[in-house]
Homo-oligomer: A and B are copies of this chain.
């Protein structure tokens, strides 16, 4: 489809955070032109009057567990151990691939309402997550959650090969669940495998203070230092959470080009703590954002994460200047893409993938229009997502999901959660 957006404000985010006025043309799945209106011989399938609303790069939710929509509001106001052991694990043990497929589809609906155009999803059955994303048009990097209780290294390697072949929209990256769910032997073997493929590694790390303490007890060093020693950082990657990294950890992250994916909503709701975002930025470490799963957060809402990542930094530093709005927008749009080697959709530029959202500026929370980036970061809400386009396809517009039956997804998910809730 060739689509012309005109009468638009455009926030490209290729470098500076500035709003221009003009047109944006999409040809097939790519951005073909951004600039002033000009003559064209193009035959447009669709011409969209943006009515001075804002086109900008989609948000990248680069740490989530989509299928945990099954457990939203089932297990809140509990401590971590009760939550995991009593509520989550027994139910995950009986979840089928098809259950994950439907619950992922529910999550994708929600990503579309919050303007997310790329997710990194670590959950039980990557094959069915793949299918849910490919069918609904969601760009996704599947992340394995290797651990000593789950599928083997061989399964991970096989998925790495097979799932990277199936679709342009969905990839697979090697990930480990966490230091504390792997033993040393598994970590060493994982390191061999990532060296075989020169692959980056993605892993939950330094989420809670206890986790870091226990790693020190086991190995005499932090999880970040342990992974460094084992060569697991040799090809980059990301740590999820990074709430409890110290200065020495940060030196390693910077040196090894490891990004930190912050999940402030989840860290807040589970009382894990406040990540040292200002310090990461000072040291030049790339910070991206994730919602984490909808059982710990509980919602998939990038506006919440954007407000929190700067708001909590302000509280932590006791400094209202901490982590300015422009920086937050870069985290949400650009850095998340970079953390997954997805430069192809990091910003709006000719030749990049057409992963574009439209922000409704004619809602009261976006008025007056004195500073659009600040309006988005400090005042934005799902109500402002007027359109979500992924890979050149409009998947959500004016509150409607395009080409998908949301009610069918709700019905299927209700059946699944009815079955799972009383286990």
Binding site for B on A (CB under 8 A): 69-70, 72-74, 76-80, 83, 106-107, 109-110, 113, 265, 267-271, 273-274, 294, 297-301, 303-304, 307, 311-312, 314-315, 317-322, 324-325, 362-365, 367-372, 374-375, 378-383, 399, 406-407, 410, 413-414, 416-417, 421
The answer to whether A72 and B379 have CB atoms under 8 Å apart is: yes
Give the Cβ gap from A310 to chain B, nearest Cβ, in Å. Answer: 8
- Evaluate whether A72 and B317 lie within 8 angstroms (CB atoms) in the complex, with A77-B324, A271-B322, A364-B110 already known: no
The answer to whether A365 and B407 have CB atoms under 8 Å apart is: no
For A365, give its contact among B79, B301, B369 (CB under 8 Å). B301
9 nearest A-B residue pairs (beta carbon): A299-B379, A73-B374, A109-B364, A110-B364, A268-B311, A73-B371, A298-B378, A368-B417, A382-B383
Q: Give complex CA distance A289, B367 in Å.
A: 23
The answer to whether B74 and A365 have CB atoms under 8 Å apart is: no
Most buried by B among A110, A270, A362: A110
**Can you name 10 A-B residue pairings with CB atoms under 8 Å?**
A73-B375, A73-B379, A106-B364, A110-B365, A265-B307, A273-B315, A299-B379, A364-B410, A365-B382, A381-B381
The answer to whether A72 and B324 have CB atoms under 8 Å apart is: no
Interfacial chain B residues near A70, Cβ < 8 Å: 368
The answer to whether A382 and B381 have CB atoms under 8 Å apart is: yes
Give the Cβ gap from A16 to chain B, nearest Cβ, in Å. Answer: 17
Q: Give complex CA distance A405, B124 in Å.
A: 50
The answer to whether A383 and B268 have CB atoms under 8 Å apart is: no
